[in-house]
Amino acid sequence: MAKITFIDPAGDQRVVEAETGSTVMEAAIRNDVPGIDAECGGACSCATCHVYVDEQWTEKVGGPEPMEEDMLDFAYDVRPNSRLSCQIKITPELDGLVVATPERQG
């Protein structure tokens, strides 16, 4: 299990536990994290699970694959540290990961 901290646009934090092998999006949905809609259920065919990866974690998380980059074109307020949470797999190395949700999803 890894702990993931979600920060909403108001700065409120919610720490959840995520199973290794699952995704950040799945952890958010299981724990009713506001701001993660996940309309496509994790198929990387929408941009409604967009998050900003904390800069201290961007290297460990890695960058988006080309398909994810295409979907990020539909996200709201895309930044260099933007990722789709459905594409971030939980590994033991991501214990303590911090992500923020945008004001709204795309």
Mean pLDDT in residue range 85-103: 97
CA–CA separation, 58 vs 60, rounded Å? 6
Please compute the mean of the pLDDT values over residues 45-67 and round it to a whole number. Answer: 96
106 — pLDDT class (breaks 50, 70, 90): confident
Short-list 48, 54, 45, 47, CA closest to 81: 54
1-55 pLDDT, tens digit per residue, is 999 999 999 999 999 999 999 999 999 999 999 999 999 999 999 999 999 999 9
Please give the average per-residue pLDDT across 49-76, as a whole number: 96
> What's the one-letter identity of residue 81?
N
Residues in Cβ contact with 86 at an 8 Å cutoff, skipping those fewer than 6 apart: 23, 24, 25, 26, 38, 40, 42, 43, 44, 49
